[in-house]
Structure 1
């Protein structure tokens, strides 16, 4: 429940804050592990140091035990206790026992060592092994209400009439070794805390230096004008240069779109303003005309101008919708044969009204990867142009074929055709041949060319025999699923 409530807040954190939190948490975890390791090391070091003192004292005592007249005699060396006196606040306990648990001297009630888990050689004061006749064992116990560290050393004595182990047990309270472990641990903690602070400072500086190019990029974007779409020229690291390149590419595309929109708006305004002016002039003439037959002809021209204006506005709206669809929708598999057949059925009646027949011949199951709305607009514009410019009694042939390499759609009419010099020009918006007397907006082939380019298809114009025009659209194999 808490995580669900906190996630939206965490998502709003800045990158700097997130990086500081993550690196700080990692440094804290590493520091805690280092503190734990330092404390363990401090305890082992203090334990080993004072265990060596106990071991040295026990060896010195063991070396002074001898057999006299069949009895064990212990001459306690002063140096052994002076060694243990290096920890002045600690108390020292000792006991010397003979074979069979015989008590020779010292504290008789010292705790006995636990069951031996193994044997180990000890080191003498010179650093060498004490010999095969020694065994040691170290353990902790409570004695007289205090924690005491005990070392038990057993020495094998062998004489003519005596053979057995002599046990020397030396104990020392743990005040000095605890203080030493705490001192080592405190110094390690201070060093780790210092390293933690230095590392966190260095990480903060590194994060600031890493994010600084993003701040420069932000300032470069925030300070420029809303109409300034020139490429950004900001010195950034290689990783951020990809982002800058993407922004520059986006602004280049946006600039091209805005320039195209401006040109299109200017051309559209001109194309609409001209028929509107003619429409008003013709209507005014019809209003002022007294001759009924002449007024009727003028009103007919008004209707023709209105139809041409309606066609132009519809084409402009279709192109606006088409541009939006091409930028907002992804390509999907489209059954091109089904789409062409549906358009042929829809346009069959308008074609018959003009005395033109439609004939379709093609393959079935023809699929292309594309935008269904855009492909429909392209094919519809090509078919409507073919019907409009065909002579009554002629036929418009539509052929659709596919092969391993491409899909080809060809529309052939028997109209006047287009001169070779004008074929490249008809793809420009609002272009109309000077000798063309038929109505039209001049946008049909321009839209078809735009849709074909979007689908990476080629659109070609060629002469039909004996007369007319053939419009061929070829989709490459990579467009076919």
Structure 2
């Protein structure tokens, strides 16, 4: 038995793993971005604190800029022991007053922060200085003395080692937490998937532990999503039970119907062997031939019924021309009917197509036409007609088979559809299966088959096909 290329469990695990890995990567990138931002903000605040202390120590005295830098301003920058710090104070025209004289000036795209009106405007930017990447902060402080005023620019720079170390530490802590969360999440997902798929395993065990002859519906609690699967299995079992019962009934009936003619055939053959009178022996042999023909007809009908039962469950319905099927059957039977001195007339009022089984329709038509011919007298005409539905059945197509035979009493019009039923006063040989097969084929095509009296005598078999199974062409 062919097995699936993969399993649902494996697919769920792969998808869950992909989701977790994607989430872990996204979380790591987010943590790295958060670590970089946190480290940048922390050290930017240290630089801001240092530069504000420097700004407080700068004043204007007798028109001269006086600078008395406190040691605490450098102590703040020295908190990052692995970093180098740079500073510079510049007067008008970028004249160096103290500090490094080659510090880079703020570019035009420097980050400008002026959140607090009491605070000076802060310009943050990166630049390469003395072989390292450095973060700079520049502010401008106005100096006012009586009627004199000037402005100084204070720049502080710091290398990025400490802040990068802090960012990496934050990212590593978050990454460790995310990895631990991923491992725990994966274990929980595997456990959850196993638990979710447990009802399928229970369903499998419930079927595997059943006896081969037990085809009763399964009654086990399953989740709502698996209920359609359970309903499908139960529906399949119901169909299988129906098929087995039909097969059992068919086998019993077939055995009974074949056993009786065989016993009679054997008895007639034995009598013919013992009979010395040629005339009587000839009559007995004729009875043997008649019984053999009846038995062959019964076997053929039983085989046709079994074939139809199989086709009803295995063959899809397709669109066929109802007129072509009926006309073809009439052509096939016309020579045989003429041998019985009966004519077959085909009449049609319009073209129709039918969604059904071509083989089954032909079997139904052959049985109905053969019955009509068999019960007709020499010189009679059997009419096969297709008419459009009228009155309460617009759009339908009606197949009519009219004969001029003895007809069927009203009390037996329904009983003749029972398998192997034959009226006691019926002198014509037959198996009693033909009309039963015809009704089964009609029901398979959602059609209605009924019998009614012909005028002045005879029988009319009426098969009505209804939309959407039938369509006018």
Q: Same fold (TM over 0.5)?
A: yes
Name the structure 2 match of 1:451. 441
Residues in 2 aligned to 1:149 and 1:115: alpha-carbon distance in whole angstroms: 13
- Answer whether contact 1:460 1:472 (CA < 8 A) is retained: yes
Structure 1 residue 118: Cα displacement:
5.8
Moved over 6 A (4+): none
Structure 1 residue 383: Cα displacement:
0.3
- Residue 239 (structure 1) aligned to one of 225, 233, 239: 225
Name the structure 1 match of 2:266. 280
Deviations 1:262-293 (A, max 9, x none): 11011111211221222122112112211111
Residues in 1 aligned to 2:224 and 2:122: alpha-carbon distance in whole angstroms: 66
Residues in 1 aligned to 2:315 and 2:113: alpha-carbon distance in whole angstroms: 83
Residues in 2 aligned to 1:13 and 1:429: alpha-carbon distance in whole angstroms: 50
Root mean square deviation of aligned Cα: 2.0
- Answer whether contact 1:113 1:139 (CA < 8 A) is retained: no
- 3-state DSSP of counterpart to 2:327: helix
Name the structure 1 match of 2:186. 200
- Residue 11 (structure 2) aligned to one of 10, 18, 39: 18
Name the structure 2 match of 1:386. 372
Structure 1 residue 307: Cα displacement:
0.7
Deviations 1:226-255 (A, max 9, x none): 111100001001121111111111111110
Structure 1 residue 434: Cα displacement:
2.0
Name the structure 2 match of 1:442. 432
Name the structure 1 match of 2:69. 76
Provide closer, same or farther for how the CA distance between residues 16 and 242 of structure 1 changes in structure 2, counting only shifts above 3 A.
Answer: same
Name the structure 2 match of 1:421. 411
Residues in 1 aligned to 2:77 and 2:256: alpha-carbon distance in whole angstroms: 110
Structure 1 residue 112: Cα displacement:
0.9
Deviations 1:38-89 (A, max 9, x none): 1011101100110111011111101211123332221001221222232233
Name the structure 1 match of 2:33. 40
- Answer whether contact 1:70 1:161 (CA < 8 A) is retained: no
Name the structure 2 match of 1:478. 468
Residues in 2 aligned to 1:183 and 1:87: alpha-carbon distance in whole angstroms: 15
Structure 1 residue 122: Cα displacement:
5.0
Residues in 2 aligned to 1:366 and 1:97: alpha-carbon distance in whole angstroms: 103
TM-score (norm 1): 0.92
- 3-state DSSP of counterpart to 2:438: helix
Provide closer, same or farther for how the CA distance between residues 142 and 76 of structure 1 changes in structure 2, counting only shifts above 3 A.
Answer: same
- Answer whether contact 2:106 2:138 (CA < 8 A) is retained: no
- 3-state DSSP of counterpart to 1:459: strand
Name the structure 2 match of 1:339. 325
Question: 1:270 aligned to 2:256?
Answer: yes
Structure 1 residue 160: Cα displacement:
5.3
Residues in 2 aligned to 1:423 and 1:402: alpha-carbon distance in whole angstroms: 24
Residues in 1 aligned to 2:172 and 2:107: alpha-carbon distance in whole angstroms: 36
Name the structure 2 match of 1:28. 21
Residues in 2 aligned to 1:101 and 1:361: alpha-carbon distance in whole angstroms: 115
Structure 1 residue 207: Cα displacement:
1.5
Deviations 1:426-445 (A, max 9, x none): 11222222222212111110
Provide closer, same or farther for how the CA distance between residues 241 and 478 of structure 1 changes in structure 2, counting only shifts above 3 A.
Answer: same
Residues in 2 aligned to 1:121 and 1:355: alpha-carbon distance in whole angstroms: 115
Structure 1: gaps (5+ residues) = 1-7
- Answer whether contact 1:121 1:130 (CA < 8 A) is retained: no
Structure 1 residue 162: Cα displacement:
4.6
Residues in 1 aligned to 2:54 and 2:239: alpha-carbon distance in whole angstroms: 94
Provide closer, same or farther for how the CA distance between residues 434 and 86 of structure 1 changes in structure 2, counting only shifts above 3 A.
Answer: same
- Residue 236 (structure 2) aligned to one of 235, 247, 250: 250
Question: 1:369 aligned to 2:362?
Answer: no
Question: 1:395 aligned to 2:388?
Answer: no
Deviations 1:89-131 (A, max 9, x none): 323221222212222222233x3134223673457xxxx5444
Question: 1:466 aligned to 2:459?
Answer: no
- 3-state DSSP of counterpart to 1:478: coil
Deviations 1:114-173 (A, max 9, x none): 4223673457xxxx5444xx3432222343443332212222224456543312121222
TM-score (norm 2): 0.93
Deviations 1:14-45 (A, max 9, x none): 10110010111012112211110110111011
Name the structure 1 match of 2:150. 164
Structure 2: gaps (5+ residues) = none
Q: Which moved more, 1:397-406 or 1:451-460?
A: 397-406
Residues in 2 aligned to 1:339 and 1:143: alpha-carbon distance in whole angstroms: 97
Provide closer, same or farther for how the CA distance between residues 431 and 168 of structure 1 changes in structure 2, counting only shifts above 3 A.
Answer: same
- 3-state DSSP of counterpart to 1:199: helix
Residues in 1 aligned to 2:328 and 2:154: alpha-carbon distance in whole angstroms: 111
Residues in 1 aligned to 2:379 and 2:373: alpha-carbon distance in whole angstroms: 11
Name the structure 2 match of 1:411. 401
Residues in 1 aligned to 2:468 and 2:133: alpha-carbon distance in whole angstroms: 85
